[in-house]
Chains A and B, each alone.
Chain A
């Protein structure tokens, strides 16, 4: 089964800096990987999806990279704002031809004004 590792410790950064979150996976190479944001007391909200044949994906201040050799995805938030403070979850496709994903435990980001 797929195992997902995200930084278990909270990440604190200064407003305006770039936040970088890491997602590492083991076992087979997934066809795609997703990033979600979760605020306290709410369900996760989809942010970005990147496929195995894509090296990088961008959406406004967000950037995701996917390195299938390292079995790693990096999630960047540029010009971070206090409103970006949340827990960010990585979700990795579990098996070919199927839309089940395995979620990581998430990394809590705190952007300090």
Chain B
């Protein structure tokens, strides 16, 4: 199965600053990668699919990039509502697999 590795595990950022989250796949998944945001007590919410396409209603401050094995989620200017856990997921092959998550916390 494709192993997804996210880094860092925790990212401390001040409001208004940029956050850069990384996701690595153990083998190429082309552009078949999605990103989700999960807040405490809530289900995950789709942010990005196809590595770089924002889902409906997702603000433009969220952007995704990468292909093959290296991917990045960037939040250009962190708002208070963006502090959460972020997961990447490969959509290329079954079993579908997720990274371990990056917690974005207030610095």
Q: Do A and B come from one complex?
A: no
Which residues of B are in contact with A by a Cβ distance under 8 Å? none
- Taking beta carbons and an 8 Å cutoff, which residues of A are in contact with B? none
